[in-house]
Amino acid sequence: MKTEEDDALCKAFGMHLAKVRKSREYSQDRLAHEAGFGRSYVGDVERGLRNISLVNLFKIADTLQIDVGNLLNFERPLDTKNLN
Amino acid sequence: MKTEEDDALCKAFGMHLAKVRKSREYSQDRLAHEAGFGRSYVGDVERGLRNISLVNLFKIADTLQIDVGNLLNFERPLDTKNLN
């Protein structure tokens, strides 16, 4: 079950991903294509609509040539600082 | 669709998670309980049977008090070094 806090975390990640992607001069389409996703997937993740999986995190990191740890190095919303 | 490479990545992550969990002296049950997972979930992740989501990665990192980047800092199998 996805809570409001989970949604906030997915949204914060999505915004960070959009920044990283743009800094690499990738369009959503190009990232989706090179990472092997469907066309709408990257947009959905960037809008926080998808709770991305480990494997897809690595696919994005590999495509954008960024360390997966850096891909997850974003400012968390205050209410998600401790999810438990 | 999960490929053999995806499975290898999930397995490598699972082995790393088991190491981190034991170094924190958490049992699978305790981690599952504190992170809010069902009993079998942690074991399944550690055996590479589950492709863990972003939200659950953060729940585990928060529970074990480890940076999520460190939780993902494991040696990748050679054939998963570039998933695309």
> Cα–Cα–Cα angle for A84, B17, B42, nearest 5°?
60
Least CB–CB distance from B68: residue in A10, A58, A72: A72
Least CB–CB distance from B55: residue in A51, A55, A57: A51
Compute the CA torsion angle B42, B53, B73, A39 (nearest 10 deg).
150
Give me the interface pTM, i.e. the ipTM.
0.91
Q: How many beta-carbon pairs under 8 angstroms link A with B?
A: 71
Whether the CB-CB separation of A10 and A50 falls below 8 Å is answered with yes
In the three-class reduction of DSSP (H, G, I as helix; E, B as strand; rest coil), residue B51 is classed as coil
DSSP B78: G
Banded model confidence at residue B1, pLDDT cuts 50, 70, 90:
low
Domain boundaries, chain A: 4-70
- What does pLDDT average to over chain A? 93
Provide, for chain A, the percentages of residues in helix, strand and coil under a 3-state DSSP scheme, each rounded to the nearest 5.
60, 0, 35
pLDDT tens digits, residue range A6-22?
999 999 999 999 999 99
pLDDT tens digits, residue range B37-53?
998 999 999 999 999 99
pLDDT tens digits, residue range A40-62?
999 999 999 999 999 999 999 99
Q: Do B36 and A84 touch (CB under 8 A)?
A: yes
CATH superfamily of B4-70: lambda repressor-like DNA-binding domains (1.10.260.40)
- Cα distance between residue A62 and residue A8, in whole Å: 25
Q: What's the gap in Å between the CA of B42 and the closest CA on chain A?
A: 15
- Cα distance between residue A53 and residue A59, in whole Å: 10
pLDDT tens digits, residue range B16-38?
999 999 999 999 999 999 999 99
Percent of chain A with pLDDT over 70: 95
